[in-house]
Amino acid sequence: MRYSDDPGDRGVRRARNSPRSPRVSKDPGERKQEIIETALELLAEKGYHDLNVQDITDRMNVSPGLCYRYFKSKTDIFAAASEFYAMKMVEQVKLPLSQEISVTEKLKLVINRIFDFTKKHKEFESRYSEGEDIRAIYLDHVAEQWALILLPVIDQGVKEAVFHCVDAAAATRFLIFGLVHTFHRNIPAQNTEAYMTSYLDFTHEMFSRVLGVPADSFR
């Protein structure tokens, strides 16, 4: 089973008391990844609090004990699923950037790629208004990945005297961790995409202020 953006690729849920198909022996690494990807799909559908391990094993058509062979708890599964999600985001955002464009255009492109990815997965993103403790697990993975992607761009802009800040690394972390936490604190369960569009404008404004570039640089 592989994670896909296409809902049509998702498995059909088996009724809880229906007979299980004969178990297929798989490599432990492959089986663990299957648990992670199944959990990610179900988190988008149900949210953390309404999801239990039985839901995951029902979707996979395996016994509940399988999940506990690889993870101690639902929280551990959630953390692994969040890390996998962050990795998929990084793969998309880190697509090569043309060296022919300005550093401001590079920054704008990276920010827009991040928001394009989150919009595509808005159902999953909207689940992080459920609670501070759960949200923090996810945000630690995502904010670190965003910072790693954006730092080289911001550092280039500082060296070229296009961006104006004393410490590129500190400015990057200040922007990313603040924006990511605020974004997920207020994200609504409904009208999520409209909220994301509005927040993108706010993100552009914050980068403009911290980096000392005109606001219309992002238009």
CATH number for 212: 1.10.357.10
% of the chain exceeding 90 in pLDDT: 39
Out of 71, 91, 114, a domain closes at: 71
Query: In this predicted structure, what is the pLDDT of residue 137?
Result: 67
Cβ distance 108 to 218 under 8 Å?
yes
Query: In this predicted structure, what is the pLDDT of residue 135?
Result: 67
Are 113 and 20 contained in the same domain? no
* Contacting residues for 128 by C-beta, under 8 A, at least 6 apart: 134, 135, 138, 139, 184, 187
Are 208 and 123 contained in the same domain? yes
Are 105 and 153 contained in the same domain? yes
Are 31 and 93 contained in the same domain? no
Provide the whole-model pTM.
0.73
Give the residue among 202, 119, 107, 191 at the shortest CA–CA distance from 146. Answer: 107
Q: Report the chain's mean pLDDT, rounded to a whole number.
A: 82
Confidence band of 87 (pLDDT split at 50, 70, 90) = confident
Confidence band of 89 (pLDDT split at 50, 70, 90) = confident
Domain membership of residue 66 as a residue range:
7-71
Report the C-alpha gap between 34 and 32 in whole angstroms: 5
Give the residue among 60, 64, 5 at the shortest CA–CA distance from 31. Answer: 60
- Residue 1, in any domain of the structure: no
Are 103 and 132 contained in the same domain? yes
Report the C-alpha gap between 32 and 74 in whole angstroms: 14
Query: In this predicted structure, what is the pLDDT of residue 55?
Result: 94
Are 185 and 102 contained in the same domain? yes
Does residue 103 carry a pLDDT above 60? yes
Out of 71, 99, 124, a domain closes at: 71
Are 32 and 82 contained in the same domain? no
Query: In this predicted structure, what is the pLDDT of residue 124?
Result: 81
Are 118 and 199 contained in the same domain? yes
Are 187 and 103 contained in the same domain? yes
Are 164 and 95 contained in the same domain? yes
Are 99 and 204 contained in the same domain? yes
Report the C-alpha gap between 18 and 20 in whole angstroms: 6
Does residue 167 carry a pLDDT above 60? yes
Give the pLDDT confidence of 18-51 residue by residue, as tens digits: 444 445 567 888 999 999 999 999 988 888 888 8
Q: At what angle do helices 132-159 and 74-93 cross, to 10 degrees?
A: 20
Total domain count, the chain: 2
Query: In this predicted structure, what is the pLDDT of residue 131?
Result: 57
Confidence band of 79 (pLDDT split at 50, 70, 90) = confident
Are 55 and 81 contained in the same domain? no
